[in-house]
């Protein structure tokens, strides 16, 4: 069994079409017309736990130990690669962000300053790392000097995740205060607060051109999409249960992920 075989050990079952609620006449209402819903029956973790006695699987782990070598002292909550792929950053419950050399698998730096769990991180193309923490702040770090260069204050509850636009000029952060904040990286000031969510916002993602920002809104059972220029919510992508993750592809397909209708099965929806 090789690494590429392992990537295909997930089975997906198409169950039904998801609902979309969009504002009439919006661009999103024309483009997000349908959703393909998949349900995962086999996860990598389940495979590892249930089939560890399998000789082929044991061989895989022996040959690919490097894929599991990044060890934090507490739970790792998020990770992000640098633009050149040489460094991996991991945000963890040890109130820090660790930087790892991808070639040597060594921890080359530990960025400390947060006073609570660090739940999210992202790295811009010009080498600025953002970290979102349960201490209600987002910190900016210079990857070269490994120093904190700014503390972004504005959220009134724990910060969950953060993401940069492709150009690195804008940062989005999500929070248990039910908002998504947009930060101008030139001034390092909050320039907008998106308040349409009725529960905490979680993972967020910009479109490739930075025109849209999407975020999972957990307790609302939806992912929302906003127009960055007008700050209007242009689409509400409905799930049956909590939505924790979302991602926009380079051609602006949207993937959202969360719990299934019984609150246990993991569900991924694709929207276009």
For 147-162, write each residue's pLDDT tens digit. Answer: 999 999 999 999 999 9
Q: Which residues contact 223 (CB under 8 A, 6 or more apart)?
A: 214, 215, 216, 217, 236, 237, 239, 243, 246, 254, 256
Four-CA torsion 8, 11, 15, 16, nearest 10 degrees: -10
pLDDT in tens, 31-40: 443 444 444 3
Distance of alpha carbon 182 from its chain centroid, rounded? Answer: 16
Entry pTM: 0.75
Domains in the chain, CATH or no CATH each: 3-43+69-78+118-271 (2.130.10.10)
CB of 155 within 8 A of CB of 181?
yes
- Residue 264's pLDDT is 58
| pLDDT at residue 30 greater than cutoff 60 | no
């Amino acid at each position: 069994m090789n690494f590429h075989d392992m990537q295909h050990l997930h089975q997906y079952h198409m169950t039904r079409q998801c609902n979309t609620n969009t504002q009439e006449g919006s661009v999103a209402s024309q483009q997000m017309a349908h959703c393909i819903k998949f349900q995962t029956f086999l996860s990598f973790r389940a495979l590892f736990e249930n089939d560890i006695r399998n000789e082929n699987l044991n061989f895989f782990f022996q040959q690919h130990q490097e894929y599991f070598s990044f060890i934090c002292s507490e739970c790792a909550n998020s990770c992000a690669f640098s633009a050149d792929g040489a460094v991996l950053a991991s945000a963890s419950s040890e109130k820090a962000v660790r930087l790892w050399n991808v070639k040597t698998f060594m921890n080359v730096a530990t960025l400390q300053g947060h006073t609570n769990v660090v739940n999210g991180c992202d790295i811009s193309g010009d080498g600025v790392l953002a970290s979102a923490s349960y201490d209600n702040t987002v910190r900016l770090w210079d990857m070269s000097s490994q120093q904190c260069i700014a503390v972004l204050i504005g959220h009134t509850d724990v910060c969950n995740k953060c993401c940069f636009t492709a150009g690195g000029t804008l940062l989005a952060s999500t929070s248990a205060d039910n908002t998504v904040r947009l930060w101008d990286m030139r001034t390092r000031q909050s320039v907008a607060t998106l308040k349409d969510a009725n529960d905490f916002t979680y993972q967020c993602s910009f479109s490739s051109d930075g025109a849209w920002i999407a975020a999972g809104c957990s307790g609302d059972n939806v992912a929302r999409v906003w127009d960055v220029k007008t700050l209007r919510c242009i689409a509400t992508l409905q799930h049956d249960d909590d939505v924790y993750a979302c991602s926009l592809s380079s051609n602006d397909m949207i993937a959202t992920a969360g719990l299934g209708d019984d609150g246990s099965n993991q569900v991924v929806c694709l929207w276009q």
